[in-house]
Structure 1
Amino acid sequence: MKEEKVMWQSKSPIGCEYLKLIQYPQEITAQGTVIYADEKDAYKVMYQIELEKNWVTKSVEVAVEGKDHTLHLRSNGMGDWWSNDTYLEGMQGAIDVDISVTPFSNSLPINRFEWAVGERKSFHMLYIDVPSLELLQLKQHYTLVNEDEGKRFFQYECRDYKTTIRVDQDGLVEDYPGLFTREF
């Protein structure tokens, strides 16, 4: 078993996140707590993602303090999703989730594959908007643009947004310009 603790500072919206990542021989568990404030309110968000050892998502739970419900999702690992035993039409093909308030979401597609510099991959993501917990399917693109001393730099694209994120040797974000910085 390998356990790693990570802390990110969020720049927009203002906040922070604590993540505990536990890698067992056959599975991975990510447990995160995000605290942030926007122009309307302050929020506490807790999530847990269960992954197969190859970083394929099996289940996701997201709770926003003060919301009436907790989002429970499960996947067959082949792009089909259920929420509380209800099949989610329109989400077919999404293997990974993207929880809007955490940079950990970027680690999921990055860690599922081996990458070569210049290689571009496209992913259908099950996007979870926080605090509403609304679901969308979004297409995202990652291109490995550089590797330097154990750091990897990925160009990330979604809709009209484009940036270059830096990740460590474990695929965890260290710098997401304008949004997240790893503090620990």
Structure 2
Amino acid sequence: MESVTRSLAWAPASGTGLEETTVIIDDGGCVAVGHIVGTDPVPFDVYYRVEVDELWRTRYVCVSETSSSRCVEMRSRGEGRWTSDDGRLLRHLDAAIDVDISATPFSNTLPVRRLGIEVGQSADIVSAYVDVPTMTVTADPQRYTRLLPDVYRYQSLDSDFTRDVVVDEFGFVVEYPGLFSRVPAGVEPV
């Protein structure tokens, strides 16, 4: 497979802020590098890098919040075991294959691509949930159900949060009702 580069942008439903992300996909997997400016619950400015292997299992995550200088950096072999940047085993994330960065809908692409479920099928997963802007990381049980070729129902299994998320043919979010909408890349933040 020849390397494919996509430039993506999302605007939050609140109307203030913007995310721009560059995604590079090749035979070895995918690398996404993004910048998010947001205001909810407080103003934040976040950069992230996510690396996945050829099976779309998350292998590396770095999320840094510039105004507070807080940073999360983690590595995984893609088998549900995570270590911190200093090599400590993060046992509270056992079984998490994917990362879910709260401020970006790019996170939803990871299980959508990795699971490869058919219309009518569901899969339960655990994500390493990175809360922005607090930068805390917790294990988050979730369910993905493919309702239509381009619609996945996301359900949090430890709350009542549910959304039907529309994706494009590559699994990138187009519409995440009440949270994010895709916009043309290169738009200025509001």
State TM-score, norm by structure 1: 0.93
Q: How many residues align?
A: 179
CA distance in structure 1 between the aligned counterparts of 2:101 and 2:47, rounded to whole angstroms: 11
Measured against aligned partners, the alpha-carbon deviations of 1:81-134 in whole angstroms (never above 9, x if no partner) come to 011211112210000000000000000000012221110111001100111110
User: Could you tell me which residue of structure 2 aligns to residue 146 of structure 1?
Assistant: 148
> What's the CA shift string for 1:27-61, capped at 9, x where partnerless?
31000100011354x21100000111221111000
1:176 to partner: Cα distance: 0.4
- Unpaired stretches in structure 2, ≥5 consecutive residues: 185-190
* CA RMSD across the alignment: 1.3
- Corresponding position of 2:126: 124
- Residue 17 of structure 2 aligns to a residue whose secondary structure is strand
For 1:79 and 1:39, locate their aligned partners in 2 and report how far apart those are by CA, in whole Å: 30
**Identity of counterpart residues, as a percentage?**
32
Displacement of 1:141 after TM fit? 0.5
CA contact (8 A) 2:100 2:108 kept: yes
Structure 2 counterpart of 1:75, which letter? S
1:130-151 CA distances to partner (integer Å, 9 max, x unpaired)? 111101101000100112xxxx
CA contact (8 A) 1:13 1:37 kept: no
How many Å apart are 1:68 and its aligned residue? 3.4
Within a 5 Å distance, the mapping from 1:43-62 to structure 2 comes to: 43-62=44-63
Equivalent residue for 2:31, pick from 29, 32, 44: 29
CA distance in 2, matches of 1:69, 1:144: 35
Q: List alignment gaps of at least 5 residues for structure 1.
A: none
The Cα shift of 1:16 comes to 1.0
Larger fraction in strand = 1
Q: d(CA) in 1 for partners of 2:41 and 2:143?
A: 30
> 1:164 maps to what in 2?
164
